[in-house]
Amino acid sequence: MKKSILILLSVLGLISCSRTTSLDPRLPEIWPDYTGVTVPVGTAPLNFELGTQYSKVFVRVQGADGSILKARGKTARFSVNGWHKLTEANAGDSLRVTVLGLKDGAWTQWKDFPIYVSADTLEAWGVVYRKIAPGYETYSKIGNYQRNIRNFKETPIIESTLTPGQCVNCHTANATNPDQYTFHLRGKHGGTYFQVNGEGKWLTTKTANTISNAVYPYWHPGGDYCACSNNFIHQSFWTGSGRLIEVWDDASDISVIDVRTDEVITSPLVHTDWYETYPAFSPDGRTLYYCTAFPEEVPANAEKVRYSLCSIDFDPETGSFGSKVDTLINCARKGRSITFPRPSYDGRFILYSEADFGCFPINHKEADLYLLDLSSGKRHALAGANSEYAESFHNWSADSHWILFSSRRADGLYSLLYICHIDEDGNASKPFLLPQKNPGRYYVNSLYSFNCPDFTSSKVKFRKGSTWKQVTDPDRLTAKDRITTDDEEIISDPEPADSSAPMFMQ
Amino acid sequence: MKFTKIALSLLFGTGVFLFWFLVHPLTLGFQEQNQLFLFTWDYLLDHLSRAGGLADYIAEFITQFNCIPWLGAALLAALLVALQYRVWMAGKQNDGWYPLSFIPSILMLIGMGDIYVMPSHAVAICMALGCFWLYRKTKNYGLFELIAIPALYWLAGPAMWIFAVLSVIMKIAEHGFDGRSFAFGLAGLVYPALLVILAHYTLLNQYPMKAAIFGIGYYRMPLVVPAIQLVTAGSAVLIPLLLEALPEFRKPVVPAIVLTLLLAYPTYLGLSRSYDEGTQQAIALDQLVRQERWEDAVTAAKKYMPQSPECYVNLNLALCMSGHSVDDITGFRQCGTEGLIMPRVRDFISNVGSYEVFWRLGMVNSSLRYAFDSQESEMNNQKSGRHISHIAECHIVNGNWQLAEKYLDILSHSLFYRKWALERKAMIEGKAEPDPLYLYLQTVRFKEDFLFHYPEMGRTLAKLYQENNTNAMSAWYFSAWMTLMEKEAQK
């Protein structure tokens, strides 16, 4: 009997010894691709998976300080606290990741890869974003969500189930501070929700002087104003196999809402026959950046519509626009189109999308992120952050060291959220996909795009209890036009003398 | 009497089966195409995250079998017989009144004439009555209620009230109407009401109060509560009480048969009025196109002259695909060029036929758009097996294989789309021959990329033919478009 057991143990020993680990000199094909990314201290761990052909994965992450974190199982899932400790101990240095995968009873070890831990902290509680099917003109369930960046907890702020038949638009906080935020509802009971220091109100923002309700908002840093565009948005659909959708404006203007008085402020300079859209205030609140384009005939000449980056002064004391427009980048000459200008909160850069044409870069495969250095006037593509697919819907962290954006690089259609470090010279690191506990299950089975993301300095508070009642209230507040001498000009002279070349575009 | 009861239930079940299998088999397929039941934990957990989710889950599990009409009809019949049996078991089993227990099931069947009524409500009532049956067997009423009411509300939805009301009335009936019974009765109603309010402000805070009170998944359209839903739920309370209260018969067989006969005529009337002919015809044509039964679609249209543009889209496609000449379209009343290809409409029914037309014409992107929007128009936020399959096909033809795989992977978790999805996946991976239709569509599509503009559909069809003169269907549709334009101009 003893002899039999010894023989059996010997055979088992031989079998186990024959399980050698083969070395593969390439980097492992992990998803999400976290090889060589730069992360801040204290975010959720970068869990990942190998292909389904691997039944087990073993991962060892070693910090430059010698500390080690391991994960094993079907996917690489790290302890949240362990990851926080590891990144804290290695801030400003790197982690070395060793990956082994088991396939058909044999282990493979790939080339180790680094994860860089930035010395710049990410000053944010979490991120907010909208989840929506990347469809055409109809939506079923959509919603605004918030996610704690330190762990994996995602909670809805508002979902369309709360307001059936209405489309929930992007959540916009004031420089990441959710004490002050706004979002729109579209549909029969459409309106804009403003929340300031816990007090919320639903406002109908269409007035006699504006062509539509508020569309793309941006808070004034002082908190008394919210700039927005007013757009007639249309969509059309490509017939070829490469492109799917084109979104354009039939008309668009810019206005500023005084949230204290519910007054809408306009100026003839941002209320022309040209398209004006995507307003954004400078961090000092004295300049309003926006994009403008000559109104080509659309859809016939949709591919000729190119937006330039302009600015106009704004006086927060009087709530009035300046008397001239400056062109920062003239795209009519460069043959490109600029949209979504987002000034960094330290006032150094403007981050924007650049595409071949049009105003909706997320549908443009060629759309990339660019950075304009306001001190030198030089612009450059964020090579580290861009991909062969569309990048757009970007925003800065409060400390201006990190950006958050949507990219379609995962499959060409579904936009996912990426976070990227921007160094002192305005260069981007390799971005990392917003981590999930089980990224395969979360992203691969999801039929949602993630768009309009922003960092948030604390948890967004939204009272949902009586939302449906407030939204459908027929006596809801309506914004009114602020009466200024300029109003007569707008009404009496809707068309500039030479609409093909307004003065400020020279 | 035992034999009579079994015979009556079998008779009812057979009637329901034949009603679905012979009279409305295509409606079964329509209900199935507006959902996609997945065997995944996420799908189950998503359902369990809302009140009534388990009832919805069970109903969707049953509905997936509708793509085999005899099986779908049999399962629906079984569900309604189960409901009848639960009603019977909830009351005192007073044999002579046995046919009364069919009333909630009959009302449910009549209600299903409204295509927005979901079988989830029938499942939920069964769960509530099943809970009441257990309650009658227990000794500790208070503890049972304390646990069962929140559990039932979460799993079955507001059908929980059927259990709550029945248990209160039964307690009062057993103990008499004294102060103690009154207090217990009041507590038995206030407790669930408070739970519903609490749920609305916590776990269901992404739904309006009305949804928390009347249910999320019982009706396809949110915040709409049809009268038949309330009447059916009310009957599920009233009938067990009546069975308790009505006198017993010495010879129950005769009254049972008489009652059955008395119920037959109102049932017939209810069914004939609730199943709207226009809706059923639209559904039938849609399903015949889905199954590519072109001649059957033409025959059905000849029998009942179509009225709506969506019906004509399907009919004209059937005429084209079955080899009829363009002149044959004038043999029907027609309703303008919209009856060939509809402009986009924001609902989950109207554009389905048009995406089938676009697909066969080779206008793959337009087909993809209409399919995507049809799916996103599902009012109860469901995905659709038919639409997702079509979206995957469009991405295969467009060469977006990574995207196609995403949809095929999702479909592979279903029972009835799995085989199809794995076959397509094998095509993408080069392990199987590509579908000849996909290859054909890649050759007959537009060579030039331009923006689609519905008002210029006539010119678009002409351009499609000019670019690909092997695309005979585009010539047929262009000719039909001009014919109907002229007909409209002559009016």
DSSP-derived secondary structure for A162-181? TSTT-EE---EEETTEEEEE
In the structure encoding, which two tokens stand for residue B33, read together? 């195409």
**Distance separating alpha carbons of residues B405 and B428, to the nearest angstrom:** 8
Q: What percent of chain A has pLDDT over 90?
A: 68
Q: Kindly list the residues from chain A whose CB atom is less than 8 angstroms away from the CB atom of residue B42.
A: 441, 445
Q: What percent of chain A has pLDDT over 70?
A: 91
**Distance separating alpha carbons of residues B401 and A435, to the nearest angstrom:** 25
Interchain pair B406, A444: CB under 8 A: yes
What was the pLDDT predicted at B94? 78
Three-state DSSP class for A394?
strand
Among A204-218, B38-52, B150-164, the minimum mean pLDDT is found in A204-218
Closest CB to B208 among A141, A302, A468: A468
In the structure encoding, which two tokens stand for residue B237, read together? 């309370």
pLDDT-derived band at B244 (thresholds 50, 70, 90) equals confident
Average pLDDT rounded to a whole number, residues A151-156: 95
Mean pLDDT estimate for chain A: 88
**Distance separating alpha carbons of residues B85 and B314, to the nearest angstrom:** 41
A34 to chain B, closest Cα gap in Å = 20
pLDDT-derived band at A15 (thresholds 50, 70, 90) equals very low
Among A330-339, B309-318, B359-368, the minimum mean pLDDT is found in A330-339
Interchain pair A238, B410: CB under 8 A: no
Reply yes or no on whether the pLDDT at B181 is more than 90.
Answer: no
Interchain pair A161, B397: CB under 8 A: no
Reply yes or no on whether the pLDDT at A492 is more than 60.
Answer: no
Mutation target for B interface from A235, A241, A460: give the one with most B CBs within 10 A.
Answer: A241
Strand partners, A400: none
pLDDT-derived band at A502 (thresholds 50, 70, 90) equals very low
Closest CB to A138 among B222, B376, B398: B376
Among A379-393, B167-181, B368-382, the minimum mean pLDDT is found in B167-181
Closest CB to B373 among A136, A236, A241: A136
Interchain pair B365, A239: CB under 8 A: yes
Residue of B nearest to A145 (CA): B206
If we measure between CA atoms, which residue out of A98, A99, A97, A107 comes closest to residue A22?
A107
Q: Kindly list the residues from chain B whose CB atom is less than 8 angstroms away from the CB atom of residue A164.
A: 208, 222-223, 379
What was the pLDDT predicted at A6? 52
Interchain pair B206, A414: CB under 8 A: no
Quick check: B211 and B110 in contact, CB under 8 A?
A: no
What was the pLDDT predicted at A505? 29
Q: Which strands sit side by side in the sheet containing A308-315, from one edge to the other?
A: A275-281, A287-293, A308-315, A320-329
pLDDT-derived band at A9 (thresholds 50, 70, 90) equals low
**Distance separating alpha carbons of residues B311 and B301, to the nearest angstrom:** 9
Reply yes or no on whether the pLDDT at A503 is more than 80.
Answer: no
Q: Kindly list the residues from chain A whose CB atom is less than 8 angstroms away from the CB atom of residue B376.
A: 133, 135-136, 138-140
Interchain pair A412, B209: CB under 8 A: no
* All residues at 6 or more sequence positions from B389 whose CB lies less than 8 Å from its CB, including other chains: B407, B411, B417, B420, B421
Interchain pair B402, A412: CB under 8 A: yes
**Distance separating alpha carbons of residues A137 and A341, to the nearest angstrom:** 25
Q: What percent of chain B has pLDDT over 70?
A: 100
> Model confidence over B372-408: pLDDT tens digits?
999 999 888 899 999 999 999 999 999 999 999 999 9
Q: Report whether the peptide linkage leading into residue A299 is cis, meaning its omega lies within 30 degrees of zero.
A: yes
What was the pLDDT predicted at A4? 57
Cα–Cα separations (whole angstroms), residue B89 to A103, B95, B130, B145, B240: 56, 11, 8, 19, 8
- What is the amino acid identity at position A249? D
For residue A69, the Cα-to-chain-centroid distance in whole angstroms is 31
Mutation target for A interface from B45, B49, B206, B223: give the one with most A CBs within 10 A.
Answer: B206
What was the pLDDT predicted at B285? 96
pLDDT-derived band at A496 (thresholds 50, 70, 90) equals very low
DSSP assignment of A441-501, as one string? IIIIT---EEEEEEEESS------TTHHHHHT-TT-EE-EEPP-THHHHHHH--S-TTTTS
What was the pLDDT predicted at A136? 73
pTM of the complete model: 0.90
Reply yes or no on whether the pLDDT at A506 is more than 50.
Answer: no
Three-state DSSP class for A139?
coil
B286 to chain A, closest Cα gap in Å = 21
What was the pLDDT predicted at A3? 57
What was the pLDDT predicted at A198? 77
> Model confidence over A356-369: pLDDT tens digits?
999 999 999 999 99
What was the pLDDT predicted at A2? 55
Number of CB atoms found within 10 A of residue A210's CB:
22
* All residues at 6 or more sequence positions from A1 whose CB lies less than 8 Å from its CB, including other chains: none
Average pLDDT rounded to a whole number, residues A69-78: 96
Mean pLDDT estimate for chain B: 94
Say how many CB pairs under 8 Å bridge A and B. Answer: 121
Give the long-range contacts of residues A12-18, CB within 8 A, separation 24 or more.
none
Reply yes or no on whether the pLDDT at A497 is more than 50.
Answer: no
Name the more confident of B38 and A489.
Answer: B38
What was the pLDDT predicted at A468? 75
Closest CB to B398 among A133, A165, A241: A241
**Distance separating alpha carbons of residues B145 and B170, to the nearest angstrom:** 13
The DSSP H or E segment spanning A340 is strand A337-343
> Model confidence over A45-55: pLDDT tens digits?
999 999 889 99
Strand partners, A379: A372
Name the more confident of A13 and A161.
Answer: A161
Helix ranges (DSSP H) in A54-113 = 80-89
pLDDT-derived band at A488 (thresholds 50, 70, 90) equals very low
- CA angle in degrees (0–180, nearest 5) for B80-B85-B88: 130
For residue A274, the Cα-to-chain-centroid distance in whole angstroms is 27
Mutation target for A interface from B376, B396, B428, B442: give the one with most A CBs within 10 A.
Answer: B376
Helix ranges (DSSP H) in A281-431 = 331-334
What was the pLDDT predicted at A484? 61
- CA angle in degrees (0–180, nearest 5) for B383-B384-B390: 120
- ipTM of this predicted complex? 0.89
If we measure between CA atoms, which residue out of B133, B151, B61, B118 comes closest to residue B232?
B118
Three-state DSSP class for A202?
strand
Average pLDDT rounded to a whole number, residues A399-410: 96
Residue of A nearest to B447 (CA): A240
Reply yes or no on whether the pLDDT at A344 is more than 90.
Answer: yes
Interchain pair A162, B208: CB under 8 A: yes
A250 to chain B, closest Cα gap in Å = 15
Among A238-242, A430-434, B131-135, the minimum mean pLDDT is found in A238-242
What was the pLDDT predicted at A5? 56
Find the chain A residues whose C-beta atoms sit closer than 8 A to any C-beta of B: 133, 135-141, 143, 156, 158-159, 161-165, 236-244, 246, 299, 302, 411-414, 441, 444-445, 447, 464-465, 467-468
Three-state DSSP class for A388?
coil
Select the highest-mean-pLDDT range: B60-64, B138-142, B248-252.
B60-64
What was the pLDDT predicted at A227? 96
What was the pLDDT predicted at B148? 95
Sign of CA dihedral B343, A162, A182, A395: negative
Reported in sequence order, the residue ranges of A275-431 that DSSP labels E, i.e. its strands, are 275-281, 287-293, 308-315, 320-329, 337-343, 349-355, 368-373, 379-381, 391-396, 402-407, 416-421
If we measure between CA atoms, which residue out of B156, B195, B183 comes closest to residue B48?
B156
If we measure between CA atoms, which residue out of A427, A429, A432 comes closest to residue A370?
A427
Reply yes or no on whether the pLDDT at A501 is more than 60.
Answer: no
Interchain pair B208, A164: CB under 8 A: yes
Interchain pair B402, A411: CB under 8 A: yes
Number of CB atoms found within 10 A of residue A480's CB:
13
Interchain pair B42, A441: CB under 8 A: yes
Three-state DSSP class for A358?
coil
**Distance separating alpha carbons of residues B164 and B22, to the nearest angstrom:** 38
Torsion-angle region of A176 (φ positive above 0: left; ψ -120 to 50: alpha; else: beta) = left
Burial of A25 (0-12, 13-18, 19+ CB in 10 A): exposed
Select the highest-mean-pLDDT range: A299-303, A474-478, B406-410.
B406-410
Quick check: A263 and A480 in contact, CB under 8 A?
A: yes
> Model confidence over B422-453: pLDDT tens digits?
999 999 999 999 999 999 999 999 988 899 88
What was the pLDDT predicted at A7? 55
Q: Kindly list the residues from chain A whose CB atom is less than 8 angstroms away from the CB atom of residue B377.
A: 138, 140
Interchain pair B376, A133: CB under 8 A: yes
Q: Kindly list the residues from chain B whose CB atom is less than 8 angstroms away from the CB atom of residue A236.
A: 451-453
Three-state DSSP class for B370?
helix
Interchain pair A240, B446: CB under 8 A: yes
Reply yes or no on whether the pLDDT at B170 is more than 90.
Answer: no
